[in-house]
Structure 1
Amino acid sequence: MTGLPDPTRSRAVLIGVRSYLFLADLPAVRNNVERLASLFTDPRVWGLPASHCVALHDPQSGQEVLDAVHEAAARAEDALVVYFAGHGLLSPNADLYLALPGSDPRRLYRSVDYDLLRHEIVDDFAADPCDFAQASARTTPRGPVCRPPSRRRTGAGPMPGRRLPVRRLPSPQRAP
Structure 2
Amino acid sequence: MGALPIPKQSSALFIGVDEFTSLEVLPAVKRNLSTLVDLFADDVWGLGLSRCKKLSNPSSMREVDEAIFRSARSASDTFLLYYAGHGLLDLKGRLHLAMPSSDPQAVHSTAFPYDWVRMGLAASPAQRCIVVLDCCFSARHGRTVRRAREHGATS
TM range (shorter): 0.7 to 0.9
Larger RCO, structures 1/2 (Cα 8 Å, 6+ apart): 2
Structure whose alpha-carbon radius of gyration is higher: 1
Task: Quote the residue 1:63 is aligned against.
Answer: 62
- State TM-score, norm by structure 2: 0.82
For 1:103, the aligned partner's letter is S
1:116-150 Cα shifts (integer Å, max 9, x gaps): 111111x2114579x98xx83313467153xxxxx
Task: Quote the residue 2:28 is aligned against.
Answer: 28
Task: Quote the residue 1:9 is aligned against.
Answer: 9
1:69-125 Cα shifts (integer Å, max 9, x gaps): 10011110100000000000001211000000000011221110000111111x211
1:11-36 Cα shifts (integer Å, max 9, x gaps): 11100000000000000101111000
Pairing 1:136–2:135 present: no
Task: Quote the residue 1:124 is aligned against.
Answer: 123
Higher-strand-fraction structure: 2
Describe the SS at the equivalent of 2:27.
coil
CA distance in structure 2 between the aligned counterparts of 1:104 and 1:54, rounded to whole angstroms: 27
Change (3 A) 1:49 1:95: same
- The CA deviation at 1:49 is 1.8
For 1:116, the aligned partner's letter is W
Contact 1:61 1:111 in 2 (8 A): no
Contact 1:97 1:111 in 2 (8 A): yes
Describe the SS at the equivalent of 1:100.
coil
Question: Alignment RMSD, CA only?
Answer: 2.5
CA distance in structure 1 between the aligned counterparts of 2:94 and 2:78, rounded to whole angstroms: 26
How many residue pairs match? The answer is 142
After TM superposition, list the pairs within 5 Å mapping 1:140-155 onto structure 2: 140=147, 143=150, 145=152
CA distance in structure 2 between the aligned counterparts of 1:127 and 1:98, rounded to whole angstroms: 23
Divergent runs of 4+, >3 A: 126-129, 139-142
Give structure 1 stretches of 5+ with no counterpart. Answer: 146-162, 166-176
Higher-helix-fraction structure: 2
- State TM-score, norm by structure 1: 0.73
